[in-house]
Chain A
Amino acid sequence: KAGVTQTPRYLIKTRGQQVTLSCSPISGHRSVSWYQQTPGQGLQFLFEYFSETQRNKGNFPGRFSGRQFSNSRSEMNVSTLELGDSALYLCASSPGQLTDTQYFGPGTRLTVL
């Protein structure tokens, strides 16, 4: 069974630009969660989507948004990039029940210059 895939793997942007990251979950998984990982803050929850609906949201500004498509693929968008947005962005998928284990993708390394 193929794992979670994320594209692109690496991205360099400048301040003020916007970026869209993509995540394809494991086949059959309906829940997709997004996380930001930085050396200082560790892994922080951004939001979770289930059946195209945002089911939960972390404490990030509105510049961070996401969506999920009918095939469970998800995209995350960050507008008006700031230097502090440089991080590893991780996507995780699970079948969808709240007790399900989450399986992570390899991440997208975003660098903001």
Chain B
Amino acid sequence: EDQVTQSPEALRLQEGESSSLNCSYTVSGLRGLFWYRQDPGKGPEFLFTLYSAGEEKEKERLKATLTKKESFLHITAPKPEDSATYLCAVQPGYSSASKIIFGSGTRLSIRP
């Protein structure tokens, strides 16, 4: 069964303290892996798409990496405004590819 697992469920960091969020997945083929940020009461905001193992993408203090079994979202020197829930999602590589599967998210809190 296709599955996406994110860890940790919640993470509290001090401002400037770098860390990583994990997304492990099992899926029949991988067409794409997505990272989103979601603020309370709002829809998810797109961050990155990764397509193949070894791929990396960066945006400001965030860097996403992908292996054959997991993805990491590295946060460097975070600021309080980076506090949000970070969601990982995978897109299967078979006929139901439009059926995106989301993980339960990591709630990130950055203390000033």
Contact = CB atoms under 8 A, between A and B. Distances in A.
A42 B43 contact: no
Contact of B91 (A4, A31, A99, A107): A99
Interface size of B as a range: 20 to 34
Contacts of A56: 96, 98-99
Contact of A104 (B43, B91, B98): B43
B74 interface: no
Interface stretch (A13-21, A43-51, A66-74): A43-51
Contact of A42 (B42, B49, B91, B104): B104
Interface in A67-113: 90, 92, 98-99, 101-107, 109
Interface of A: 4, 31, 33, 35, 42-45, 48, 50, 55-56, 58, 90, 92, 98-99, 101-107, 109
